Amino acid sequence: MLDIAFAKSALPKSGALALLIAEDANSPTREVLAAADAATGGAVSRALAVADFSGKQGQSAIVLAPGAGLTRVVAIGLGKAADLTSAGLENAGGSAAAQLGRDAVAALSAAGLSGAQAAAAALGATLRRYRFDLYRTKEKADDKPKLAKLTVLTDELPKAKAAWVAGKALADGVYLARDLVSEPPNVLNPVEMAERCKKLTALGVKVEVLGPREMTKLGFGSLMGVAQGSAAEPRMVVMKWDGAPATKGGKGKAKPLAFIGKGVTFDTGGISIKPAAGMEDMKFDMGGAAAVIGLMAALAGRKAKVDVVGLVGLVENMPSGTAQRPGDVVKSYSGQTIEVINTDAEGRLVLADVLWYCQQKFDPRFMVDLATLTGAMIVALGHDYAGFFANDDTLADQIAAAGRASGELAWRMPLDASFDKQIKSDIADMKNVGGRPGGAITAAAFIQRFVNGKTWAHLDIAGTAWAYSDQATVPKGATGYGVRLLDRMVAENFER
């Protein structure tokens, strides 16, 4: 991870320098720019003028070897100071980190910004610097990014350092989620993924792991049906963070918040096997579970003042002589029966048992599940937005607002009763698919049958779990989508 340090705003005597510059002509963000320009005899301002750099949001310009010991000056536009958001600052920090990648040590000027804003820029730089290179053994040194340490220059040093405590914890959670999604499926099977969850105990998270014997005894027929074709045993992991202070009068704490993740560590489709082309991407069919694990790490890392439970159902969906067949009927933990029409619609079968267990065991205030659930969601919203469904307007508004604030966008989808009719079965309580029309919606309608009236939301992150090109704070690859969104939602609504 990028080593972040904070220092008082001043022109560095050497090395690379990134400048975050607002569009406003008299903005204090331009103070270090003025110092750099004076030290270089006007070289910086001349170069920025040639590049037509004015500080508009998304603008950038690079000045090479301007003098005064500076090897590189990178100017990043913030737009109007009045329009600055934390997501915009994170994007600016990420852009700076990307353009400073060939410099081992660099400084980032957040002069004129608050300490919290400086920490937001540091978070963006850290997230963009992520790189999964565990299995690269022959990569040339010149092909590797060199940026290892970034000193953020700020006018509010104590406040920036204080804000970075939570920022660093959030970055750690996103990194953990990205690492899990990036791992190859021959390494990260359900058993190994459960073992990695246990490492959260170092942060104070209580971790319980249930194996096939425990889940069979409970009656997890829906989850176990998905797992029965694989040689890798399934797991369900329960993670608890107890951070809420006791309520006044000794009446006990409020009910916990609950987050549930689909963790299919590899999805062949089972007997309803997928096409070979692109199947390697199905290693990230556990992106929902990875987000929940990363979220628990972030909340515990920053000592969030709230009680949270995270549950992940971990399976591998494989074709074999013991695999579930189209036409099978399974009995879920809720007692409801399911006709399996398509074994590639397996994630909802996993969530069915875990959601029911969650409400029975913990009676949470609400449940939010995350799953790389349907290709239909990618068709509907592409890769910039996750689609989400909710049975409660307040929870829906909280998710949408947190998505906008964090930059992890989410769009609410309809969930009318008419869609529920599409999953009616002729021989069981329901079937696991409702046909091509509204495929993401009928999947949500299926999951809702296991919510039992509890306040609930479902995020279909099929389009957002993996980035196919570099983004401001996300290099190509695993995104860790959901960690920042849900951490923001918790912080803004349940810790104040």
Here the tokens at position 202 are: 């170092």
Catalytic residue, from 348, 454, 484, 488: name it. Answer: 348
Other C-beta atoms lying within 10 Å of the C-beta of residue 97: 29
Active site residue 274: yes
Measure the CA–CA gap between 54 and 59, rounded to whole angstroms: 8
Dist. CA 314–CA 395, nearest whole Å: 26
Residue 163 burial class via C-beta count within 10 angstroms: exposed 0-12, middle 13-18, buried 19 and up: buried
Residues sharing a CB contact under 8 Å with residue 363, sequence separation 6 or more, in sequence order: 255
Residue 222: closest CA among 115, 321, 353: 353
Is 24 within 8 Å of 81 (Cβ atoms)?
A: yes
Integer CA distances (angstroms), 232 to 190, 215, 317, in order = 7, 15, 10
Q: Which two tokens stand for residue 120?
A: 């937001």
Residue 58, helix vs strand vs coil: coil
CA distances from 319 to 23, 63, 277, 322 (A): 57, 56, 17, 8
The whole-angstrom separation of Cα 138 and Cα 461 is 34
**Catalytic residue of the set 274, 305, 365, 404:** 274
Q: In what order do the strands lie in the sheet with 410-412?
A: 206-210, 235-242, 307-317, 257-267, 366-371, 456-460, 386-390, 410-412
Answer for the pair 285, 372: CB distance below 8 angstroms, yes or no: yes
Alpha helix segments (H runs only) across 21-133: 31-39, 43-50, 86-99, 115-128
Strand bridging mode 70-79 / 466-467 = unpaired
The position carrying tokens 């809720």 is 334
Task: Just list the catalytic residues.
Answer: 274, 348
